[in-house]
Amino acid sequence: MNPVAPRQVLVTRPEPGSEETAARLRARGLAPVLAPALVLEARPFAAPRAQAILITSRAAARALRPAPLPLLAVGDASAKAAREAGFTDVTAAAGTATDLARLAAERLRPEAGPLLLAVGEGYALDLAADLRARGFRVTRRIAYHAAPALTLPEASRAALSAGGITSILFHSPRSAACAITLLQAAGHAAALAGMEAFAISQRVADAAAAAIAPLSFRAVHVAARPSEDALLALLPGGAAEPAPPGAS
């Protein structure tokens, strides 16, 4: 009897998160195929005066130098990355930009000084507007630049050409759109349409659906909350169904 092949899952998030997700998939008996849609580059900056730092991603946490300020993170994963980077006073919001703005309003006072919002280039404009509407002065600084990947890794090209990938993960609206553009440009539009998409939030699912139109995924699954734990919980664990006798 032939061994059952593990299910292949295409991972589109940028490094170093892509390999971290891959390790978690392997632990579940799945076979990750890495196809990072974005390439991240830290943009160091001199931190201005602020009463607290706000971040919306792990990439921002990794790009910052530790400072003796309270740090509010959008969710548990970015809070963990901030602690690993050397920040000690870290509080996590519930996972969305709205949650982060609400946490800032609960913990901080507009009259105590400006907030430093450390983000990727082009990100968190809505969050800055929300915070200002709540009376805060916001200093927005670019902590990293995210550029679309220009090519697919050789291993992912081979796996896509072989036709064995059944699932694709999306962690952000921009990486979803860039991943689909990259895969379509590489000639894999039909393979995409045959996959099930797993999105970390409805906003990400909407971005993926818009990017693949007029085609559509075989199915779209949305995490119950915007965390990787909830995202991976959507995936069927273990190996793919064995091929029936006589199948090639």
Q: Which domains does the chain have, with CATH numbers?
A: 8-37+150-233 (3.40.50.10090), 40-147 (3.40.50.10090)
- Is pLDDT at 2 greater than 80 in this prediction? no
Taking the C-alpha atoms of residue 189 and residue 34, their distance in angstroms, rounded to an integer, is 17
Average pLDDT on 125-145 reads: 93
Percent of the chain with pLDDT over 90: 73
What gap in Å lies between CA 195 and CA 6, rounded to an integer? 15
Residue 3 has pLDDT above 90, yes or no: no
pLDDT of 49 above 80: yes
- Closest to 179 measured CA to CA, from 17, 39, 26, 44: 39
pLDDT of residue 147: 92
Q: Residue 152: which residues within 8 A CB-CB, separation 6 or more?
A: 35, 160, 182, 183, 186
pLDDT at 44: 82
Is pLDDT of 142 > 80? yes
Whether the pLDDT of residue 241 is over 60: the answer is no
User: In the predicted model, what is the mean pLDDT of residues 79-103?
Assistant: 94
Quick one: pLDDT band at residue 4, thresholds 50, 70, 90?
low
- Give me the phi and psi of 6, to 5 degrees please: -70, 150
